[in-house]
Structure 1
Amino acid sequence: MPMNKKDLKLSILDIGTKLQGNNVSQTLKDSTERIQLADELGYTRYWFAEHHNTANQVSTSPDLMIAHAATHIKRIRVGSGGIMLPNHSPLKVVENFSLLEALHPGKIDLGIGRAPGTDGLTAYALRRSREAVTTDDFPEQLNEMLSFFKRDFPSNHPFSQIIPVADVLVPELYMLGSSNGGVQFASNEGLGFVFASHLAPHLAIPVLLNYRSNFKASPFMSEPKSIVSVIVITAETEEEANYLAGPVELYWARLYTGDVHSPFPTLEEASKHVYSSNENLARTRNKDRFIIGSIETVAQKLRYLAKETMVDEVMIMEFYSDKTASQKAYRLLAKEFNLVTYKETFK
């Protein structure tokens, strides 16, 4: 069944990109302004990523970002995209998100990731031992976390007497994935599922369809709930959108040629950059990671992606190098998809 304008929900994923000329405080202030705008425009949710030891990203603690953001919104949901469980104690995650849910009932999402979100050395610094870095115990960690939420440890389990918080408080739970791995946990445990199509665009359709086909109802969700995330750069015209996409295209080309330390490019820098042969190759291979174009072009592609993946929500990864262009793009998308809750937004 084709998607129509009112069917498709839009959300935002913020990785805390620090633009050139900004310090961390300004980056966080911009995020706060962005979530307030998203709330006003009618976006469904706003998530914060977890990354460590990066020169350009400041979102190291999604739970802290959520706690701050939730005090500045009225309707929009806020959450993690995600909490990288290998870096954390399952009990502490449950405690933190139970308290967030108590503070902001019905507005908190907990997205869980399987990767550390960083390099090996930093992963070691985040965890308790070298063994914790080299051992894949994610299934055990996830089961432990879910059991703390459900209070269903067997009576002989050593954790059965531990009470994370006084009341059973459960945020909306999602599993993140960019391969065939995470989807199995989501469908088997009855969790929501978010697929990062910017990391593996060729897998988005089969993996998301697999999730829906194999979903098993649970105390957390009675039916499948899936989201596809994608990098979107849009503007009123194709020409403007392609210009605004210059920094993210250059940034990702550099990533795939081994340059992980350069700052996020400015519009001027990207427009003047002469691509090396390796960068050009990476740029070509990266094309499917982005949806770039006028609002009409982008809307058509987003509706097609949503239809093919059978999702009713698209999460847009924030990757603009200009704050004004970012705000304008979110307004254009909100208007195109009838998200706006207040007419005065476009006055």
Structure 2
Amino acid sequence: MSINNKDIKLSILDIGTKLQGNDASQTLKDSTERVQLADELGYSRYWFAEHHNAANQVSTSPELMIAHAAAHTKRIRVGAGGIMMPNHSPLKVVENFSLLKALHPERIDLGIGRATGTDHLTAYALRRSKEAVTSYDFPEQFYEMLSFFQRNFPADHPYRGIIPIPNGGNHSLIPDMYMLGSSTGGVEFAINEGLGFVFASHLAPHLAIPVLKRYHNKFKPSAHNSEPKGIFSTILITAETDEEAEYLAGPVELYWAKLHTGDIHSPFPTLEEASKHVYSVNEKAARAQNKDRFIIGGIQTVAEKLRHIGKEAMVDEVMIMEFYSDKKASHNAYRMLAKEFNLKG
């Protein structure tokens, strides 16, 4: 695959961060405005994450967010980044996403995660099963989900007669599927089943490029995809200049420094709070260690980095994790990126 300066596609990952002064309703309203802007500007897709028992995040049900976003946009693909399989029954995932695909043909993506996205107690409350929380049965869940989608259980399988959604026996209600990864594990499912693959570089920056290269080079074509569809996901903050971008990045840098020093309940900082904060010794160390988790800079600096990443990781799409503390700055950044990469709005 050849990547040139005009080939990078851009997408957005929304984790439903609740900014200070906003309630859940305002947070969801802001997400709706953002996905409509992304649709207008020509972004490829807009995904919603799944987190539970998180003090500052309201994206607990990607399926509901997808249905709402798709109904309020025209062209952009919408999806889950992702559905955390240990929290769900495979049948229910298939039913939900088959319905979404029926409502919005050619616009629905299903990103699949292997983790719970929450703590053990909350995972237990979601599944009501200690075994589901303490054992690792993702492979069984994954292949059961694929079999429900593809209607190809063995003849003697007890689930063979279950019909998730009537579809005339064809595969028209199967969404585009992607494995999510932040290590070397999830990529093997994507390779072997011919699915798309998204690497969360903010969780393991040093692994992102080698794992995405492995995915591209080892990919096995399937009924889902004839060629690899890799996406590099990152936290990105940009503005007109490097200096302005550094200022706008203050809240996310402080937020992650606090997370890595054990403060998981503080609200997402404002620009003013971040600019005035005096870092403790431990926070300074965490901030330094976190530098590679973010891409921060003026639009030209960021564009150069993204084009380099696209070439090195052998991908033509970058997914930006939404982490701005100012809505106007967020919208301006997405407009600048759309212009820089000639997105077709």
> TM (normalized to structure 2)?
0.98
Does structure 2 conserve the Cα–Cα contact (< 8 Å) formed by 1:235 and 1:329?
yes
* One-letter amino acid matched to 1:38: A
1:264 aligns with 2:268: yes
* Structure 1 residue 3 displacement after superposition: 3.3
2:337 to 324, 333, 339: 333
1:96-135 → structure 2 map (5 Å cutoff): 96-135=96-135
- SS of the residue corresponding to residue 30 of structure 1 reads helix
**Cα displacement (A) at 1:189:** 1.1
Question: What secondary structure, in the 3-state scheme, does the structure 2 residue paired with 1:286 have?
Answer: helix
* Structure 2 equivalent of residue 56 of structure 1: 56
What letter matches 1:173 in structure 2?
A: M
- How big is the shift at 1:239? 1.1
The answer to whether the 8 Å contact 1:5/1:336 transfers is: no
Rounded to whole Å, the distance in 2 between the matches of 1:219 and 1:54 is 37
- Alignment partner of 1:288 out of 288, 292, 310: 292
Contact 1:5–1:338 (CA under 8 A) maintained in structure 2: no
Find the counterpart in structure 2 of residue 137 from structure 1. 137
- In 2, distance between residues paired with 1:232 and 1:183? 23
What is the CA distance between 1:340 and its match in structure 2? 3.9
The answer (yes or no) to whether the contact 1:174–1:186 under 8 Å persists in 2 is: yes
Listed one character per residue, the Cα deviations across residues 131-171 of structure 1 (whole Å, up to 9, x for unaligned) are 11011000000000000111100010000011111114100
Tell me how far apart the structure 2 counterparts of residues 108 and 150 of structure 1 sit (CA, whole Å).
17
Pairs within 5 Å for 1:184-263: 184-263=188-267
Q: CA deviation at 1:219?
A: 1.4
Look up the equivalent residue of 1:208 and give its one-letter code. L
- For the 8 Å contact 1:175–1:193, the answer to whether it is kept is yes
Q: Which amino acid aligns with 2:66?
A: I
1:140 counterpart letter in structure 2:
E
- Residue 186 of structure 1: how far off its partner (Å): 0.7
Structure 2 residue aligned with 1:18: 18
**SS of structure 1 residue aligned to 2:21:** coil
Residue pairs, 1:164-175, within 5 angstroms: 164-167=164-167, 168=171, 169-175=173-179
Give, in whole Å, the separation in 2 of the partners of 1:2 and 1:273.
44
Does the Cα contact within 8 Å between 1:187 and 1:211 map onto a contact in 2? yes
Matched, 1:301 2:338: no
Matched letter for residue 149 of structure 1: F
**Residues 303-325 of structure 1: CA deviation (Å, up to 9, x unaligned):** 11111000000000000000000
- Cross-structure match for 2:151: 151
Shift, 1:2, TM fit: 6.5
Tell me the CA shift for residue 217 of structure 1: 1.4
| Shift of residue 221, structure 1, vs aligned partner | 1.2
Distance 2:249 2:157 in 1: 53
Give the residue type in structure 2 aligned to 1:143: Y
Q: Are 2:76 and 1:44 equivalent residues in the alignment? A: no
1:71, 1:132 → 2: CA distance? 34
SS of 1:3 mapped into structure 2: coil
Provide the aligned C-alpha RMSD in A.
Answer: 0.9
Alpha-carbon offset, residue 279 of structure 1: 0.3
1:157 is paired with a residue whose SS is coil
Give 3-state SS (helix, strand or coil) of 1:149's partner: helix
What SS class does the counterpart of residue 37 from structure 1 fall into?
A: helix
* Separation (CA, whole Å) in 1 of partners of 2:294 and 2:265: 21
* Residue 33 (structure 1) aligned with residue 33 (structure 2): yes
- Retained in 2: the 8 A contact 1:229–1:315? yes
Any unmatched runs of 5+ in structure 1?
Answer: 342-347
Q: Distance in 2 between matches of 1:238 and 1:214?
A: 38
| In structure 1, distance between residues paired with 2:5 and 2:49 | 28
CA distance in 1, matches of 2:142, 2:26: 35
CA 184–2 in structure 1, closer or farther in 2 if over 3 Å, else same = closer
Match of 1:87 in 2: 87
- Where does structure 2 lack aligned partners over 5 or more consecutive residues? none
* Separation in 1, partners of 2:2, 2:278: 41
- What letter matches 1:83 in structure 2? I
Task: Look up the SS of the partner of 1:136 in the other structure.
Answer: coil
Deviation for aligned residue 1:4: 2.8
| C-alpha separation in 2, matches of 1:63 and 1:41 | 24
Distance in 2 separating the partners of 1:2 and 1:289: 26
Deviation at 1:109, TM superposition (A): 0.1
Between the aligned partners of 2:125 and 2:108, the Cα distance in structure 1 is 28
